[in-house]
């Protein structure tokens, strides 16, 4: 049936908030209320009649409340299709139809976050509630499921505007949200048994997640599961989109490498940095980062490791950008930045990243350790006769941090703590090298004395030769190719310095 009038409701909730509004509406519509334990007592305290579940099942709540609703007299009324064969069985066994199920699950994740007592945590694994949700959602063609407090508003609208009558679209929407609740709940329990919650790379913190306007493209739906408020305080602007979140993630991960360094500014575009520079103050860092590629910076994501001052804010506001992330904003700078109504301003708590990363592929999900390793100069192994100069050594360390966060195949060119050229996402390393050199030349950078970083080894010495001809004087790379000696020999023959880290940083 498409339209259905609610005649009976089973309510079993942990938190009673909101029931004081819903229960009277159900009663006024002539809907019989069935309930359990503390929920039953709460509704009765409102002066509203309740049918105890025990009256249906002829069993009391047993095992310290672990078993209350798990009974055919309850689940039969929920799972029965409103068809003759099923309805005849309900009559035969004296099972009442249950048209509406309202559940609010035990707060498992909050319990895990608040205690290390395993017994308390295990007791907050909801069994009856999750079973009620799944049963009612499975039978959405005939039953309304309200799987959490977040859906009370939807139910109240149905009761007020439709007098307790629902259509198939209403019920299917709530069923979809119910399975989101149950799947997220199971993920949280799995994660607890699989690992400590503090070590998770992501955590589905919401019953349904945060539904985004759309995904990577307008024809794709998307939902974010996580706790953005735990990382950022959004001070201004629209809600973050799917693409915003992906770019913000790239920017935060990148800035993690520089969070304790001199004032540093990064400009992110499509998850790659089109500009990064470090200077003695944030205004100069911003100007130097913008100069790396002021064309690609249009509509980018801006990230600072230092508070934004008024001078910097005024100059930033001359540009079109999507998001500005910083650990703080001076009051007058914040007022200046707020003049751009749609721009998002995020005050970040910490440039921290999760220790695990996940990606859906084929018919499953792949998990890996996040690439949190970065090799400082202590890990550099000099491979050539020439020793890098102190300035080259500083820039090699800087370039090695940068190349880790640019899509493979990639080459990064750095001079005086500024990324002056970058080639990313190329199918050959030599193409990435050419692109990096051409970018640098396009924006007027002098590569004499600059350094080059590669995310993986050089299979041939062609990139080293290109770099030398462009003016590069020092190179950092992971090494590991059988042809490493060819690149090293070229450096020795042409007075170049090369250091090898032994750590590859592919980023696909």
Q: Write down the pLDDT at residue 287.
A: 97
141 tagged catalytic? no
86 tagged catalytic? no
> Percentage of the chain surpassing pLDDT 70?
94
Using DSSP's 3-state secondary structure scheme, residue 462 falls into helix
> What's the pTM?
0.61
Catalytic residue among 25, 138, 259, 356: 138
C-alpha dist (Å) from residue 255 to 20, 261, 268, 402: 48, 10, 11, 10
Tokens of 485: 């000696």
Q: Write down the pLDDT at residue 203.
A: 41
Q: How far apart, in whole angstroms, are the C-alpha atoms of residue 106 and residue 422?
A: 51
Q: Write down the pLDDT at residue 85.
A: 79
Q: Give the pLDDT confidence of 101-147 residue by residue, as tens digits.
A: 998 888 887 887 788 788 888 888 878 888 899 888 888 888 889 99
Please, which residues bridge with residue 234 across strands? 346
Catalytic residue among 270, 338, 340, 386: 270
DSSP letters, 4-29, are EE--EEEEEES--TTHHHHHHHHHHT
Q: Do residues 397 and 390 lie in contact, with contact meaning Cβ atoms separated by under 8 Å?
A: no
Q: Give the pLDDT confidence of 134-174 residue by residue, as tens digits.
A: 888 888 888 889 998 888 888 888 888 888 888 888 888 88
Q: How far apart, in whole angstroms, are the C-alpha atoms of residue 286 and residue 303?
A: 9
Domains of the chain, first to last:
4-199 (3.40.50.1380), 227-348 (3.40.140.20), 377-500 (3.40.140.20)
Q: How far apart, in whole angstroms, are the C-alpha atoms of residue 35 and residue 150?
A: 20
């Amino acid at each position: 049936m498409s339209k259905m009038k609610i005649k009976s409701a089973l309510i079993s909730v942990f938190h009673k908030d909101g029931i004081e509004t819903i229960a009277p509406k159900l009663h006024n519509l002539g809907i019989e209320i069935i309930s359990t334990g503390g929920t039953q007592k709460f509704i009765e305290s409102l002066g509203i009649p309740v049918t105890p579940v025990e009256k249906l099942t002829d069993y009391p709540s047993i095992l310290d409340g672990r078993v209350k609703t798990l009974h055919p007299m309850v689940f039969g009324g929920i799972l029965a299709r409103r068809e003759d064969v099923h309805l005849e069985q309900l009559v035969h066994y004296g099972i009442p139809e249950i048209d509406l199920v309202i559940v609010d699950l035990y707060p498992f994740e909050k319990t895990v976050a608040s205690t290390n007592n395993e017994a308390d945590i295990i007791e907050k694994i909801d069994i009856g509630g999750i079973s009620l949700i799944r049963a009612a959602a499975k039978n959405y063609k005939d039953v309304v499921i309200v799987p959490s407090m977040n859906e009370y508003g939807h139910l109240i609208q149905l009761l007020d505007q439709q007098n307790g009558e629902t259509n198939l679209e209403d019920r299917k929407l709530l069923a979809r949200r119910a399975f989101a609740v149950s799947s997220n709940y199971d993920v949280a329990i799995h994660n607890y048994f699989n690992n400590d919650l503090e070590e998770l790379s992501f955590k589905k913190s919401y019953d349904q997640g945060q539904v985004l306007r759309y995904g990577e493209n307008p024809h794709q739906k998307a939902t974010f599961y996580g706790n953005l408020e735990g990382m950022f305080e959004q001070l201004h602007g629209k809600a973050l989109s799917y693409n915003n979140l992906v770019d913000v993630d790239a920017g935060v991960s990148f800035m993690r490498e520089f969070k304790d360094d001199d004032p540093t500014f990064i400009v992110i575009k499509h998850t790659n940095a089109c500009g990064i520079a470090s200077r003695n103050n944030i205004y100069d860092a911003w100007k130097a980062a913008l100069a790396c590629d002021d064309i690609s910076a249009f509509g980018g994501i801006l990230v600072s490791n230092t508070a934004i001052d008024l001078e910097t804010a005024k100059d930033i506001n001359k540009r079109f950008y999507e998001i500005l992330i910083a650990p703080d904003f001076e009051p007058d700078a914040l007022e200046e930045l707020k003049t751009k109504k749609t721009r998002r301003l995020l005050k970040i708590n910490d440039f921290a990243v999760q220790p695990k990363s996940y990606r859906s592929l084929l018919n499953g999900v792949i998990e890996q350790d996040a690439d949190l390793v970065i090799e400082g100069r202590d890990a550099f192994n000099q491979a050539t006769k020439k020793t890098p100069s102190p300035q080259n050594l500083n820039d090699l360390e800087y370039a090695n941090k940068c190349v880790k966060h640019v899509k493979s195949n990639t080459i990064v060119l750095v001079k005086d703590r500024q990324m002056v050229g970058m080639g990313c996402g190329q199918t050959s390393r030599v193409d990435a090298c050419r692109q990096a050199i051409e970018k640098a030349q396009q924006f007027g950078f002098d590569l004499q004395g600059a350094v080059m970083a590669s995310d993986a080894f050089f299979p041939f010495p062609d990139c080293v030769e290109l770099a030398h001809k462009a003016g590069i004087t020092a190179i950092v790379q992971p090494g590991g190719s059988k042809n490493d000696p060819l690149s090293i020999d070229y450096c020795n023959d042409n007075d170049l310095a090369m250091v090898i880290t032994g750590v590859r940083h592919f980023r696909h």
